[in-house]
A = this chain, B = another copy of it.
Amino acid sequence: MKILITSGGTTEKIDSVRGITNHSTGNLGKLIAETFLAQGHEVTLVTTKQAVKPASQPNLNLHEISNVESLLTTMEGLVKTHDVLIHSMAVSDYTPVYMTDIDELEKTEQISDLLSKSNSENKISSQADYQVLFLKKTPKIISLVKEWNPAIRLIGFKLLVDVPKEELFRVARASLQKNQADYILANDLTEISPTQHHAYLLSEDDSFEAFDKEGIAQLIYEKVVTHD
């Protein structure tokens, strides 16, 4: 089976020295990749320069991306040629459009006018006491996966922060239906530490629990292979 895995977190540039980063070490994606590689599967890992990666090996194909735009371009081609996508990457929801100071904002009658502006400077000046950064929503890559390849098996990820289990399940299952995913790995940041990683792998009707990254990787592996 040809397995496509994403890991790490994207960074959206504000200017040439600053960016908005979604934090993710890449540890879980690395472990999932290693689990499939150990069983002889062919793995393509789409990740970032900063993320940890498995050791180089014959069945492992690496693609480094930085922002959502480069992820989108890379994924469109790869989704079409793989059997399974395990999309564990922390993808930026928003990307910077325009940064300015409060003066310009107060002088602007139509705020929507600022949304079509862009910064000409390479490094945005840092004189004003306050600045304001306008951001726009990035394309939701997970929602495009089944359009690109209706036959691919899709395992999505949903990370929330400090919510009841019921809400985590509700939001994860909504994502499962909306994106036609086969499973969603649902987890809460408050239950992730260097020694534990509590998570649920949810299908439409079932849920399976794991307590650390090894357990999550094993759970995903089993569900992907037993389906065949």
Chain A residues engaging chain B, CB cutoff 8 angstroms: 11, 14-23, 50, 90, 92-94, 97, 102, 105-106, 111-112, 115, 121-123, 126, 128-137, 159-162, 189
Oligomer copy total: 2
**Which residue of the partner chain, among B15, B106, B135, contacts A133 with CB atoms under 8 Å?**
B135
**Which residue of the partner chain, among B22, B106, B122, B126, contacts A18 with CB atoms under 8 Å?**
B22
**Which residue of the partner chain, among B22, B128, B129, B134, contacts A132 with CB atoms under 8 Å?**
B134
Quick one: given A17-B159, A18-B20, are A130 and B135 in contact (CB under 8 Å)?
yes
Flag if A18 contacts B17 (CB, 8 Å): no
Flag if A19 contacts B21 (CB, 8 Å): yes
* In the bound complex, CA of A22 to CA of B129 (Å): 18
Complex interface: chain B residues within 8 A of A20 (CB): 14, 18-21
Flag if A128 contacts B137 (CB, 8 Å): yes
**Which residue of the partner chain, among B14, B22, B122, B129, contacts A161 with CB atoms under 8 Å?**
B122
Complex interface: chain B residues within 8 A of A131 (CB): 94, 134-135
* In the bound complex, CA of A20 to CA of B134 (Å): 14
Kindly list 17 other residue pairs between chains A and B, CB separation below 8 angstroms, not including A20-B20, A132-B134: A15-B161, A16-B189, A17-B23, A17-B90, A17-B189, A18-B20, A18-B21, A18-B22, A50-B50, A122-B189, A123-B161, A126-B137, A130-B134, A131-B134, A132-B132, A132-B133, A132-B135
Complex interface: chain B residues within 8 A of A111 (CB): 102, 105-106
Q: Closest CB-CB distance, A157 to chain B, in whole Å?
A: 12
Complex interface: chain B residues within 8 A of A21 (CB): 11, 18-21
Complex interface: chain B residues within 8 A of A122 (CB): 161-162, 189
Look across to chain B and name the residue whose beta carbon is closest to the beta carbon of A106: B111
Count chain B CB atoms within 10 A of each CB in A16, A126, A133 and give the residue with the most: A133
Q: Closest CB-CB distance, A115 to chain B, in whole Å?
A: 6
6 tightest Cβ-Cβ pairs between the two chains A and B: A122-B161, A93-B126, A123-B161, A133-B133, A21-B21, A131-B135
